[in-house]
Structure 1
Amino acid sequence: MSDATAPQPFNKEIPTDEEGKFRGYAKARADFLHVRLVVAACGALIIYIPHSWHFALITVIAVCLAEALDTISLNQSIKRLNSGAPLRPELRFSLYTAAFQALLFSGVVIGGAILQPRVTIDMFLICYLFAAVMNAGMLLYFNSAATYLRLLIYGITMILIISMRWMYFAGAPVLAYETAATLLLAYIAFRVIDFVENNFREQEQDKVNALSRQKSMKTQLEVYANKERHLLQLAAVAKHANDSVIVFDKTGRITWVNDAFTEITEYPRDEAIGRRAGTILNGPMTSPETVAKIEHAAATHSPLRIEIQYYTKSGDPIWVETNLVPLPSSPEMDGGMIAIERNITNSKLRQSELANAMRNAERSERAKSEFLATTSHEIRTPMNSIVGLTDLLSEHDLDPAAREYVVALQDSAQSLVRIVNDILDLSKLEAGKLKITPSVFEPGHFFNKLDNLMRPRAEAKGLSLSIDLPDDLPLLYADEGRIRQILVNLIDNAIKFTRSGGVTVAVQGARIANTCRFSVDVTDSGIGISESGMRRLFGYYAQAEDTTSQKYGGTGLGLAISRHLAREMGGDLTAVSHEGQGSCFSLFLPIACTDQSLEGIEEVTQIPEAPTANLAERTILVAEDNATNRMLMSKFLEKCGAEIVFAEDGQQAVDLFCAKQPDLILMDMQMPIFDGVEATSRIRALDAPQPYIVALTANAQKDDRDRCLKSGMDDFLTKPVRKVELLDTIYKVLADRPMMEKPLS
């Protein structure tokens, strides 16, 4: 069927998107297909029956085929769209089917005009074509491209029919009326199509506006619903919150409180509303300064967070943290403030308890530090005498038995010194004051000194000591003293727990870029460690076996401190052992390598030999309150050639300095009247040539060293001091130091 008789499509839901319009176009074409087929066939019969039944049949088949192909192709396009096909190809294809249908229909109309040019059927043809134009124009909104193409073809057809009429019936008066009627029909068609198109456009705009209003209204409703829900939630939170919530008006009077306010303050809501918070909650211990800050915040309408002490209705003091928030002024709200208050009474009590606990802990820490310092001093003072006297004894020509006794004394004294050092190191570990101080050193010289230190102990037990050292070890940048402390502890333990055989120290070092993977394995053939002992081997105050300390001695601190030191230097200390099969302790450290010259390192690490300079004209003042240590110092220094002067307290030290003008002072820290620090400060304050002052003290803590140096001392030696170390220090100081001017006697 043609477009001439298709009814106007009208959808209640006017589509606004391009695909929706195309679907509406296809649906309108398909819905009225049967009507168009019947009317188109009847029109073709009316046009062609007067001429020939054969032509009539052919034209009926042609117009029906065109309509059917157009509708079928549109249905296929809809199916493809449902399957996800793009819209643009389907729109283009609808142009082809529309052009085919319009051309075939126009051909039928033109054929009728040609076959019967002198019959008055031409007016029927014009009306028939006009109906097609009207029908096509009804779908302009849904598919404008296909509609304009149909209208173009129908317009050309209309012009051809009028032209043929003028060719066949030139000069007939009726032609003017027919032409005018045709133009009038064209104008009517234009107006009707424009009206329908505008109607659809208006409906489209109305729909868009309605959807926009609906969306806006929905959004507003959601906003209002969210606000209402939010307000309900806030109201529920405020009412049932554990914190007290108080609402004030702009005059500062309470307008609402929640249940928590009553629970905290014991004031019912009806007693609180209409009153000022300060009149019911402030008490004798409430801070006036805090009250003034709150009043200032309320007057300036500014937020404030502060702690204040209130009183309950029964008179009990409570602490609250109050958070004042100003309320905005609006037609619905008359301003004011809201206070959210949290009961922090228990927190305040805990803070007070914690502060007291902190003060007690600090006092305890100070007491412990003082105890350790006193203990260290009291132990090191007699140990200085023991170590010094055994060193003096070892210089004499002794029989083998006596020398064996002296060696045993020296070994015992060194064990006691190590125990004291371990206790001090532990206190530093617990206080976080144990520091790592790296320096450059040469590993070959380091292990030579270690061998000289440990070999006599091994040989005294009939054990062998072997140190396997590679030849290609680079210079190392690490804390030489801490590494020595770890290895001395490991080797000393290996010697202690080995009855026969020996101890092997295997050193390895592989350089990778600027880092050396430095490792030392200390292996012994001793008693070994059980599986249970391995689990607590590195714990503080613990030894591998319960009977170890009873049989071999020791505090159980050395390995724990050694592992801590290794980890502080970025490495670790591990152990492998089996009971009765010996042990192997492995120290691993990632150490920075250096390219510093070997000569510079040797100058630093080698202990200089005592110079042979004559100190006969020098004066050395020894400030020492312990008689045994004074006797020991006199023996150490009797052959140096210098004049030795002794002071028994701080006051004597200052007086003898003024009288003798010594070149060097060996200053003990703890002495009667005033200590060595005070004595040094007084000497430095005198307008006189200043001596070189060396602290010679049993106080071995780093804080003690810092105090000495801060007071004006130049160096620091820790008791027990060895004779060689003391003489080396004295010779090194006085070798290049100008002589002091001596007072006239």
Structure 2
Amino acid sequence: MAAVLVIAGDILDHLCLRSALRMLDRGGDLPRLKLFTMLSAGVQAVTIVAAISLAWDSFGAHSEPLLAIAMLTGVAVNGGVALPFHSGAAIVRMGIYGAAILVQFGAEFLVVDQDLTKTFANFLGALILAYTVYLFTRAVNANFLSSQATTLELMQQRQKLERTNRELKEKQIEARKLALVAQHANDSVIIINSDGLIDWVNNAFSEITGYSFNEAVGTAPGALLNAPDTDLDVVAHLATTILAGETFRGEILNQHKQGHQFWIETNQVPVIGADGEIEMVVAIERDISAMRQHAMELEAAREAAEDATRAKSDFLATMSHEIRTPMNGVLGMSDLLSQTTLNDEQNLFVQTIQTSARTLLGLINDILDLSKLDARRMELSPVVFEVHACFSDTIRLLRGQAQEKSVGLSVDIDGTVPRWLLGDDRRIQQILFNLVGNAIKFTETGQVTVRVTCERNCKNPVLRFEVEDTGIGIPEAKLDKIFERFSQAEASTTRRFGGTGLGLTIARMLANAMDGEILVRSEVGQGTLFTVFLHLDPVPSEVPIQERNAAPMLLIDPKSGEPEHVSRDTLRVLVAEDNKVNRLVIAKFLKSMPVEVSFAHDGREAVERALEQEPDLIFMDMSMPVMNGLDATREIRAKCPVQPRIVALTANAFESDRDACLAAGMDGFLTKPLSRAELLAVLEKLQPRENHRMQG
């Protein structure tokens, strides 16, 4: 029966523990499972105590507790050994075992007639056995805990060793990969030790420098590779940078083993050790000789292009001057000839000469504008201008051309357009003139309409104007072509209507220069619509608004700000002009005017006559022998006690020429060919009204 009880208790406890493990795997509550297993341990202990009690009492009146005490000792030792694993269950077991001994001895003393001395001796023996069990259990648990700590330490060390071995293997793999990359890289890789000597180089180093691995290792890079022309300042800067622990990147001239020189781009990185000292330097170098050669070729090509541009500009300036000079004679003489008595045929001949000359002059102006736009030398001159006058004046100039073809021409300016804007009105008029002139040229019947509106883009106004005609129209496939230089929509257009095909090109480039654009929409046989958007600036409140004078030049008294006039009825005019035909034209233009005209053939003579005659007005050519017009003007301004007005009269038509003349001290700028009306407009400003001359 005792054996059955013990086996049953063991089976019950075993089943409870297995069930607790399964519940723990499923996420059971650990404190509750501990209570559950403590209960099963108590049940097992009770079954063992009951079995021992049966064994104790089996001897009847002659019971000997030695067997029972020995059994309790055994199970107590067994329970104590389990103390490190489940202290609660072990304490429950041992408590039940100790209580069983006490109960058994108490019952024996009170119930059974037992010798007191013998009972005391048995109790004392039981205590000694209990103490022995305690010492044994304590020693076993201490040894277990020590062994467990040692095992844990060994496991941790093994894990650390495994981790270290794993990292070492990874680093070895990484180092092998890096070695393969460095060995097969296209760039030269050099490892330099702390003594400044080469430890390792890759294959690319040998290919670039011509030195093998064995030839390079153990030598200083500079001693091996520096060329006689290597910049020593760069080498010194490299050494200083590396010693400071910083990365160096630069270009150095090296010398190949075979003697030829080549350029490298080097990137050198110092590797700092734990002690803060440089352990090695890793240098990655690339041959950039071809790149530098290409850069030099590009620089040479750029300089050649700039030289070509300058030559082109000089050529255009020269051609402009050389063509405008005889053109001045052609137009001037034809103008004078038209004022004489001519029959119809002669009058037709004169008009043909004038029309052809003006067409040629327009072509020259277009080519000059195009060259300046190409070279980005077209400078805008923003002024405060009146929008209505800008458009109305341009339309007025073209109205006669429209009337000759019986084509209507109108301009509609929306009420939202501000009266004043800040922009280059001369260039706006040039765009409008080209577009409207084209519209009139390609319109046989109908109407050309100009509509002007103004939009707002943030704070800046966007001037928008449309030029719409009822002309021949443009095929859709040709719309992109019309803005190309020397190009028109159809080859037959040039033969039928004439023109060079530069007007629209210049108009678009001028619009782009003003951050604008030109859009076109057309239908063959129905007409064309050009829409221009120009981004202008609002008029600053601190800038006074003044109407722009459209006269060809201004002569202003610097003191009063009013047009200057002289006291004499006859003006003294000095013309400094080296071309005989131009002198003749100007003399004819001024023949009917109340002026005294004298001529100077070069700049030096102009200065001398200015000092002698004290003229009121000097027409000064820029390009003259002996002394040019700019130097002559400066000398006149410096020496003449009575300062004349000096107006440039030149075939140099660039904006830079105008600026140069004004900077030299001239008061106005007229370009050849010069019309009689322009010349008389200058003299009209000097007609006598007041007794006033500027002293200087």
TM-score, normalized by the shorter chain, greater than 0.5: yes
The equivalent residue for 1:489 is 434
The equivalent residue for 2:507 is 562
Deviations 1:501-546 (A, max 9, x none): 2211122323455233432221112222234432421112211111
The equivalent residue for 1:41 is none
Report the Cα distance in structure 1 between the residues aligned to 2:105 and 2:73, rounded to whole angstroms. 17
Please state how far the C-alpha of 1:653 moved relative to its aligned partner.
1.4
Aligned residues of 2:385 and 2:425 also touching (Cα < 8 A): yes
Name the SS of the counterpart of 1:537 in structure 2.
helix
- Is 1:203 the counterpart of 2:151? The answer is yes
Q: Which residue among 685, 709, 717 is the counterpart of 2:670?
A: 717
Please state how far the C-alpha of 1:255 moved relative to its aligned partner.
10
The equivalent residue for 1:377 is 321
Aligned residues of 1:324 and 1:339 also touching (Cα < 8 A): yes
- Is 1:604 the counterpart of 2:548? The answer is yes
Aligned residues of 2:567 and 2:691 also touching (Cα < 8 A): no
After superposition, the Cα gap between the structure-2 partners of 1:443 and 1:500, relative to the gap in structure 1 and judged at 3 Å, is same
Report the Cα distance in structure 1 between the residues aligned to 2:181 and 2:400, rounded to whole angstroms. 84
After superposition, the Cα gap between the structure-2 partners of 1:328 and 1:75, relative to the gap in structure 1 and judged at 3 Å, is closer
- Is 1:440 the counterpart of 2:388? The answer is no
Q: Which residue among 169, 182, 186 is the counterpart of 2:130?
A: 182
Deviations 1:385-426 (A, max 9, x none): 555567778889999999988777666555433322221122
Aligned residues of 2:188 and 2:203 also touching (Cα < 8 A): no
After superposition, the Cα gap between the structure-2 partners of 1:713 and 1:206, relative to the gap in structure 1 and judged at 3 Å, is farther
Please state how far the C-alpha of 1:560 moved relative to its aligned partner.
1.7
Report the Cα distance in structure 2 between the residues aligned to 1:63 and 1:279, rounded to whole angstroms. 88
- Is 1:421 the counterpart of 2:365? The answer is yes
Please state how far the C-alpha of 1:738 moved relative to its aligned partner.
5.7
Aligned residues of 2:577 and 2:599 also touching (Cα < 8 A): yes
Aligned residues of 2:191 and 2:281 also touching (Cα < 8 A): no
Aligned residues of 1:436 and 1:479 also touching (Cα < 8 A): yes
The equivalent residue for 2:604 is 651
The equivalent residue for 1:675 is 628
Name the SS of the counterpart of 2:578 in structure 1.
coil
Aligned residues of 2:334 and 2:354 also touching (Cα < 8 A): yes
What letter is aligned with 1:679?
Answer: A
Name the SS of the counterpart of 1:191 in structure 2.
helix
Name the SS of the counterpart of 2:670 in structure 1.
strand
The equivalent residue for 1:290 is 230
Please state how far the C-alpha of 1:446 moved relative to its aligned partner.
1.8
Please state how far the C-alpha of 1:206 moved relative to its aligned partner.
1.2
Name the SS of the counterpart of 2:483 in structure 1.
coil
Report the Cα distance in structure 2 between the residues aligned to 1:275 and 1:250, rounded to whole angstroms. 10
After TM superposition, the score normalised by the length of structure 1 is: 0.73
Please state how far the C-alpha of 1:430 moved relative to its aligned partner.
2.1
Report the Cα distance in structure 2 between the residues aligned to 1:596 and 1:639, rounded to whole angstroms. 48
What letter is aligned with 2:40?
Answer: Q
Please state how far the C-alpha of 1:699 moved relative to its aligned partner.
1.1
The equivalent residue for 2:447 is 502
- Is 1:476 the counterpart of 2:427? The answer is no
Over the matched positions of the two proteins, sequence identity in percent amounts to: 31
Name the SS of the counterpart of 2:491 in structure 1.
coil
Task: Give the alignment of 1:89-488 within 5 angstroms.
Answer: 90-106=29-45, 108=47, 120=65, 123=69, 126-127=72-73, 130-131=76-77, 133-134=79-80, 136-139=82-85, 147-158=86-97, 160-161=99-100, 163-164=102-103, 167-168=106-107, 169=109, 172-173=119-120, 174-237=122-185, 289-290=229-230, 305-307=251-253, 312=258, 319-321=262-264, 342=287, 344=289, 357-385=301-329, 413-474=357-418, 475-488=420-433
The equivalent residue for 2:2 is 46
After superposition, the Cα gap between the structure-2 partners of 1:188 and 1:298, relative to the gap in structure 1 and judged at 3 Å, is same
Report the Cα distance in structure 1 between the residues aligned to 2:341 and 2:20, rounded to whole angstroms. 129
What letter is aligned with 1:157?
Answer: I
Q: Which deviates further from its counterpart, 603-612 or 686-695?
A: 603-612
Name the SS of the counterpart of 1:290 in structure 2.
coil
Aligned residues of 1:319 and 1:348 also touching (Cα < 8 A): no
Report the Cα distance in structure 2 between the residues aligned to 1:279 and 1:200, rounded to whole angstroms. 64
After superposition, the Cα gap between the structure-2 partners of 1:249 and 1:187, relative to the gap in structure 1 and judged at 3 Å, is closer
Aligned residues of 1:662 and 1:740 also touching (Cα < 8 A): no
Please state how far the C-alpha of 1:491 moved relative to its aligned partner.
0.4
Report the Cα distance in structure 1 between the residues aligned to 2:609 and 2:603, rounded to whole angstroms. 10
Report the Cα distance in structure 2 between the residues aligned to 1:219 and 1:736, rounded to whole angstroms. 104
After TM superposition, the score normalised by the length of structure 2 is: 0.77
Report the Cα distance in structure 2 between the residues aligned to 1:463 and 1:571, rounded to whole angstroms. 29
After superposition, the Cα gap between the structure-2 partners of 1:182 and 1:733, relative to the gap in structure 1 and judged at 3 Å, is farther
- Is 1:615 the counterpart of 2:559? The answer is no
Report the Cα distance in structure 1 between the residues aligned to 2:164 and 2:455, rounded to whole angstroms. 76
Report the Cα distance in structure 2 between the residues aligned to 1:470 and 1:404, rounded to whole angstroms. 42
Report the Cα distance in structure 2 between the residues aligned to 1:338 and 1:175, rounded to whole angstroms. 89
- Structure 1: gaps spanning 5 or more residues: 1-44, 50-55, 81-88, 140-146
C-alpha RMSD of the superposition: 5.0
Aligned residues of 2:565 and 2:693 also touching (Cα < 8 A): no
Aligned residues: 659
After superposition, the Cα gap between the structure-2 partners of 1:299 and 1:480, relative to the gap in structure 1 and judged at 3 Å, is closer
Aligned residues of 2:430 and 2:507 also touching (Cα < 8 A): yes
After superposition, the Cα gap between the structure-2 partners of 1:244 and 1:627, relative to the gap in structure 1 and judged at 3 Å, is farther
Report the Cα distance in structure 1 between the residues aligned to 2:354 and 2:612, rounded to whole angstroms. 39
Q: Which residue among 9, 15, 18 is the counterpart of 1:71?
A: 18
The equivalent residue for 1:588 is 533
Report the Cα distance in structure 2 between the residues aligned to 1:266 and 1:623, rounded to whole angstroms. 73
Q: Which deviates further from its counterpart, 662-671 or 151-160?
A: 151-160
Aligned residues of 1:526 and 1:581 also touching (Cα < 8 A): yes
The equivalent residue for 2:618 is 665
Please state how far the C-alpha of 1:312 moved relative to its aligned partner.
4.1
After superposition, the Cα gap between the structure-2 partners of 1:695 and 1:161, relative to the gap in structure 1 and judged at 3 Å, is farther
Please state how far the C-alpha of 1:594 moved relative to its aligned partner.
4.0
Task: Give the alignment of 1:700-739 within 5 angstroms.
Answer: 700-721=653-674, 739=693
Report the Cα distance in structure 2 between the residues aligned to 1:232 and 1:626, rounded to whole angstroms. 82
What letter is aligned with 2:516?
Answer: G
Please state how far the C-alpha of 1:92 moved relative to its aligned partner.
3.8
- Structure 2: gaps spanning 5 or more residues: 58-62, 111-115, 556-561
After superposition, the Cα gap between the structure-2 partners of 1:62 and 1:437, relative to the gap in structure 1 and judged at 3 Å, is farther
Please state how far the C-alpha of 1:465 moved relative to its aligned partner.
0.2
